């Protein structure tokens, strides 16, 4: 009986954790996009409208993140060329 109760509890916890990920995916996407844009601007000339970030939640609760950026040029850094 304990094993069955524990299994029900684990299944319920998994569902709660997965549903939490659906809570505000647009906000998460904007935060990730902002952070990625900040990093890319250190190495490229890229504008926010040229950066696309999509987040999909897989059936197992994991994330699949796709990032697409169009940059006008790469910045040349001295430490990279040395």
DSSP letter for each residue of 46-70: --GGGEEEEEEE-TTS-EEEEEEE-
56 part of a folded domain: yes
* Bridge partners, 56 (sequence order): 64
- Does residue 2 lie in a domain region? no
Count of structural domains within the chain: 1
Rounded to the nearest integer, the mean pLDDT of the chain is 79
Does the pLDDT of residue 66 top 50, yes or no?
yes
Q: Does 45 map to a domain?
A: yes
Please report whether residue 14 resides in a domain.
no
- Enter the pTM of the model: 0.60
Element (H, E) at 81: helix 78-81
Please compute the mean of the pLDDT values over residues 34-44 and round it to a whole number.
91
Q: Could you report the per-residue pLDDT of 43-57, keeping only the tens digit for each?
A: 899 999 999 998 887
On whether residue 4 sits in a domain, the answer given is: no
Residue 18 lies in a domain: no
Which structural domain range is residue 59 located in?
A: 24-81
Higher model confidence: residue 30 or residue 77? 30
**Residue 8: inside a domain, yes or no?**
no
Residue 63 falls within a domain, yes or no?
yes
DSSP assigned state of 73: E
Contact present, 57 and 22 (Cβ < 8 Å) = yes
């Amino acid at each position: 009986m304990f094993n069955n109760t524990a299994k029900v509890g684990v299944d319920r916890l998994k569902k709660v954790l997965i549903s939490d990920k659906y809570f505000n995916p647009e906000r998460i996407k904007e935060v990730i996009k902002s952070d990625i844009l900040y990093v890319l601007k250190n190495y490229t000339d890229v504008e926010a409208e040229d950066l696309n970030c999509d987040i999909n939640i897989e059936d197992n609760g994991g994330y699949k993140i796709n990032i697409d950026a169009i940059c006008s040029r790469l910045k040349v850094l001295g430490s990279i060329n040395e």
